[in-house]
Chain A
């Protein structure tokens, strides 16, 4: 195979790794910071015999990959942090049944919530909940290496493997060494019936759990024997050590240089199952250990537990010295390290200023500029505005300031229904087209079925825009760029039993005004679809 070296984004390096591992089937839902994975696959899918899709949501994406895996195709699923919440319902049974062909699931967390509402989720917690093996790369080179390793582990133990990345890994660039791959024809799989493996019907499900726990013990032993986790020893023996994972490991390397310290470092690459023997060996001769991990203190807890047997006098420092909120950086690690080693560290900043914050705003020419002010002006005083995920969440920022709650994909409508049922207030739920397909549909069925009457305004800008313009079921185009059935939101709403539906172009302000007035007076749920193409997309199409 030809060697190659190129500057790659972490997300792109994952695609290279999967390609080399022979991936056949790719599914996912776009989100920040994982969206470039799917996009990169679409660029190279055809020539490499890969089938790739944007699925309607992460649960369906995972289930599609399960179907592929059971049919003998290697698969990769990509999603942002919250995607794993959506797909968890099928993730837990998948770990019980196990995979047939290898599967890597990429989950991209966003510490500091650079591009995330909802919560500052640490998806590593799902490893414990579902018992799924989890790898954590630090940089694009490892994104490439660990994607390959993930497929290798998955094929060896017949389990899906999560590659957990964060914004600073997904959106980090560096020169990556990779091999050129010969193109292959698209593989046709075969589903060979085996309900004993694929059906979780009790009492078989409990046997499956036993098989799963056995597999995990075997993976632990494998990790202890192989060099998945990395220990770096100092020149002279030291009493202090550091355990780190993900991008935080790189901050540790930098901090050690900055403070001129030489101590032993454990780089935890396989977060779950944790290789106990490796950890025991690492902490055995230490007096103090600093655990450097972003967000939750999971590794810190593990080290404390392992130390009870391996080194009961060990002092474990983690979240007492490092924040649980927000991403880490070199400075934060330096401060923590200085504290436990007694070294001096001083911040080196020119000056402090208090400057006005520039928040995200709608793009120039965005059709939402017509919609938000009209809704706000026409809605009677005290109307409740339900916000949703996507570009429309900018409604919550100045100058609009019209978002009374914001939760997860499609939640504007589910919560609006609850408010409607509980009060006599007017409620308007505002969501985008992508979000409607993802999770808005069940909430609409619920509102109609259970007889409440929120007004739903769907901002149909003909694409999933916020995450960088990905195709969705309303566009008549698949992720691979093929023509397909164009699902009409108004027809879906009608089929869901909505009686009052209006499709309009929001630049016809009068039309929008009248529809809002008319529908807010209705006793049944109503839907206004504001259809106008995203301004950035329109500009791009012209060029």
Chain B
């Protein structure tokens, strides 16, 4: 268990499963004995717009929002939404981005987004989670869980695999549990 507070921004598009991912990280950190705080958004902002939520865990957490520049990790379920986080993060922030675009009128091309990401060099982990989950599990929605598996496996997040599995068992409804655990494990294979 580490003393320093660990800060995660999760971003994506409303409906992609941002809040499920937040709840799982909250629960897993809580299982490990950390103090936890998170902040999320519901309602209008959830109807297909940009969504950004914050998760923090450590010894004692005060603010539910991460001070700007202090995120340790950004997990984004969509490329452009991940790119936005460059404006809220600092020089040590790592980025775990789903290589997946949900375009809208006026949105940037994938290559353009990739160009912008060059600024952060090897702090970027671009992972085709949606494609992998579609191919291996015939289900795109669990790409969020795949990304979490990736983050744990690559030690981008200081939480044990077992804690996440326990969190999935507690939070995910029974009929989707097996699929979620599969998606989580997939990143370890």
Contacts and interface: CB of A to CB of B under 8 A. Distances in A.
Interface in B52-104: 61-65, 67-70, 80-81, 83-84, 86-91, 93, 104
Contacts of A362: 47-48
A466 interface: yes
A351 B86 contact: yes
A320 interface: no
Given A114-B43, A353-B83, A358 B37 contact: no
B44 A349 contact: no
Interface in B101-137: 104-108, 116, 119-120
B41 A174 contact: no
B105 to A, nearest CB: 6
Interface residues of A, number: 51
Given A115-B43, A175-B36, A358-B81, 16 more contacts: A33-B43, A139-B37, A168-B65, A171-B41, A174-B35, A174-B64, A250-B63, A253-B62, A329-B65, A349-B89, A355-B80, A355-B83, A356-B80, A360-B14, A361-B48, A468-B42
A247 B67 CA distance: 14
Nearest to B113: A355
A172 interface: yes
A356 B106 contact: yes
Contact of B67 (A115, A173, A258, A359): A258
B42 A360 contact: no
B87 A468 contact: no
Interface residues on B, range: 35 or more
Given A330-B63, A349-B89, A350-B90, A399 B43 contact: no
Given A348-B90, A391-B47, A398 B105 contact: yes
A361 B107 contact: no
Given A175-B30, A348-B90, A358-B80, A115 B45 contact: yes
A33, A350, A352, A394 — most chain B CB neighbours (10 Å):
A350
A355 B37 CA distance: 29
Contacts of A468: 42-43
Nearest to B50: A358
Given A33-B43, A349-B87, A174 B65 contact: no
B185 interface: no
A529 to B, nearest CB: 23
A44 to B, nearest CB: 18
Nearest to B119: A351
Nearest to B48: A361
A37 B39 CA distance: 17
9 contacts: A114-B44, A168-B65, A175-B30, A331-B67, A350-B90, A353-B87, A358-B13, A360-B49, A466-B47
A521 interface: no
A351 B91 CA distance: 10
Contacts of B44: 32, 114-116, 360, 393, 466
Contacts of B42: 32-33, 35-36, 115, 171, 468
B140 interface: no
A466 B44 CA distance: 7
B38 interface: yes
